[in-house]
Amino acid sequence: MRHTLPNAPQFYVTAPQPCPYLHGRAERKLFTALAGDAGQTLNNVLSRQGFRRSQNVLYRPSCESCVACMSARIRVRDFAPSRTQRRLIRRNAALVRTATSAWSTEEQYELFRRYLDDRHADGGMADMDVFEFAAMIEETPVRTRVVEYRDPPPPRHSRADGELRAVCLTDVLDDGLSLVYSFYDPALSDFSLGTYMILDHVEMARAAGLPYVYLGYWVPGSRKMAYKARFGALEIYKGGVWQDLGDPQAHEADIHPLSVDPIVEQVARIDLPLG
pLDDT at 158 over 70: no
Contact 120, 126 (CB under 8 A): yes
Burial pattern 162-193, b for ≥16 Cβ within 10 A else e, equals eebbbbbbbbbbeebbbbbebbbbeeeeebbb
Torsion of the alpha carbons at 41, 47, 48 and 50, rounded to the nearest 10: 150
pLDDT at 1 over 70: no
Q: What is the pLDDT of residues 74-119, one digit of tens each?
A: 999 999 999 999 999 999 999 999 999 999 999 999 999 999 998 8
Q: What is the pLDDT of residues 113-124, one digit of tens each?
A: 999 998 876 767
pLDDT at 2 over 60: no
The CATH architecture one would assign to domain 79-210 is 3-Layer(aba) Sandwich (3.40)
* Sheet containing 144-150: order of strands: 96-101, 144-150, 164-173, 176-184, 212-218, 70-75, 234-238, 241-244
pLDDT at 178 over 80: yes
Q: What is the pLDDT of residues 229-267, one digit of tens each?
A: 999 999 999 988 999 998 888 887 655 555 677 888 888
Contact 146, 164 (CB under 8 A): no
Domain limits of the chain?
Answer: 79-210
pLDDT at 5 over 50: no
Q: Which residue has the higher pLDDT, 193 or 19?
A: 193
What pLDDT sits at residue 260? Answer: 72
What pLDDT sits at residue 37? Answer: 74
What pLDDT sits at residue 102? Answer: 96
Please report, rounded to a whole number, the percentage of residues in the chain having pLDDT higher than 90. 65
Mean pLDDT, the chain, whole residue set: 89
What pLDDT sits at residue 35? Answer: 76
What pLDDT sits at residue 6? Answer: 45
Residues contacting 139, CB < 8 A, separation 6+: 55, 56
pLDDT band of residue 46 (cuts 50, 70, 90) is very high
Contact 205, 213 (CB under 8 A): yes
Of 30-34, 67-71, 125-129, 256-260, minimum mean pLDDT range: 256-260
- Helix (H) or strand (E) run with residue 115 in it: helix 106-119
Of 199-203, 212-216, 238-242, minimum mean pLDDT range: 238-242
What pLDDT sits at residue 9? Answer: 84
